[in-house]
Structures are given as C-alpha cells and as structure tokens.
Amino acid sequence: MTRGFSFSLPVMVVVSAIAFVYFCTVFVFTDRWFGLMTSPGIMNAVAYTAVSVMCVLNYVFAIFMDPGRVPSTFLPDIEDSKVPIHEIKRKGGDLRYCQKCSHFKPPRAHHCRVCKICVLRMDHHCTWINNCVGHANYKVLLVGSLTNDSQNDKQQSADSFRILYVISGLLLVPLSMALSGLLGWHIYLILQNKTTIEYHEGVRATWLEERAGNAYKHPYDLGAYDNLTTVLGSNIICWICPTSKHIGNGLRFRTAYDGLPVTSTSK
C-alpha cells in the first residue's frame, strides 16, 4: 500500500543534497580525476550511479510506502491460545484501545500524532522521510559510498572547484557520521528485536523488574539470528531488497513465550 505525499522541507533538503553530491561526484570529481570518456571514468561513474539509484529508490520507498496501519476491524482474541501475549494499559489493566482511531491496538502498535493513524510495530516518526517508520517500511537500507583514488595530486587551480570540494566535504562528513551512527543503532535494535519505542519502554521495565528482584526479558527477543531474519527475511540474498512479503500482517509476532499460557504485558 502506498500513501500520498505532501510538501516537506526536510525531504526537499535531502533530495537537494543527494542531487548536489551526485552531480559533483560524477561530473566534477570523477571527470577531473579520470575523465568521463576514459574506461576508469566510465566504470566509476556507472558504479556510483548504480549505488545512487539504489539509495534513491530505497528513500522513495521509505517516503511513499504506508508504514502499516491497524485495520479498523481488528479485535483482540484473548482466548486464542496461539497468542501468548496481550498488551494492556499500564493503568486500569484494560486492553489497549486508541480513542482517536476508535479501535483496539494490537501488540507493538502505537498511535502517531503526526500521521494521525495507529502504526503497526511503530518505531518512530521520521521528519526526514515525512513518514512513520513501522512494520511495512522498516526494512529500508541506506547505502552510501565515496571513493577517492586519485592517480595524481595536481594543484586545483579553479576556485569554483575548490568551493565544490569544500561544500561536498561539509555535506558528506556529518552525513556519513550521522548515518553510520543511525545504522549502528538500528542494527542493535534489530538484533534485540526492538523498536525505538520498545527500547525506551524496556529501560523503565528493566528498572521496575530489578526493584522487584526479577530479571526483565524482552518478550519478542528470539535470539540474534531469528531476530535478524524476522526483520530482513530468511533469504540472505533478499536482505538488500526493499520487499516486505515475509513480514506477515503485523497483528501478531513470534515471541519467546510461544507455546506457553497466555499472559499480558503493560503498555
């Protein structure tokens, strides 16, 4: 399912930055280092273009793909023995219900105040894609590459090219650092089978369990490999593809308590 697109300044900034870096890398840097009409130049331009196209496609998917919304007809079946966990409200002990959307919320779903919908396995709302990151669009990989293998160290004489080098550096260095940190953070979350929201909820839950003398275990933690395949799929070849056929309907998730009596967790 796709969603409509409304104007977003952060998205325009990202698109402009991608276009600027691509233009400079291919038509300025590669041309000056190798020459676009030479074999090394063509190979570098084609390789960089392929990576850039993959990045842009993933970014477009992240923007337009519906994050996964809770069906209006969803009703929790508390008598279903195949569902070992039912999330309940912290106060009152009732099943989680969204007053704004007027329906029950399945496990790991949360209401987004920006998108104004309940999102399945919601991670967070991302300003830079003007969309929620949730069950249906979480598997999006951002890949960037910048190779500098200049074969000569000729003095750059044109001020315009010096300015392009400086601007590109000012864009790429902080972006590379930020995206590397974000990638590392989400690799950690994937290996724990947590969303960003569940991580922060888990900090409080751990503190409460430790006060009670118990050890807290994230109910959806199936082990590193199973956690990885739950998000990316069992076929390693498809890990880099922005597909979501393997993820199910988002209303029920495997837990560490599958096969055990039905219990409840507070949310």
**In 3-state terms, what secondary structure has residue 105?**
coil
Pairing outcome for strands 85-88 and 97-98: unpaired
Write 48-56 long-range contacts (CB < 8 A, 24+): 48/22, 48/145, 48/147, 49/22, 51/143, 51/144, 51/145, 52/18, 52/22, 54/143, 54/240, 55/18, 55/142, 55/143, 55/144, 56/18
Supply 83's token pair: 């569902």
Rounded to whole angstroms, the Cα distance separating 22 from 4 reads: 27
Active site residues: 126
Rounded to whole angstroms, the Cα distance separating 249 from 238 reads: 19
**In 3-state terms, what secondary structure has residue 137?**
coil
Rounded to whole angstroms, the Cα distance separating 105 from 97 reads: 6
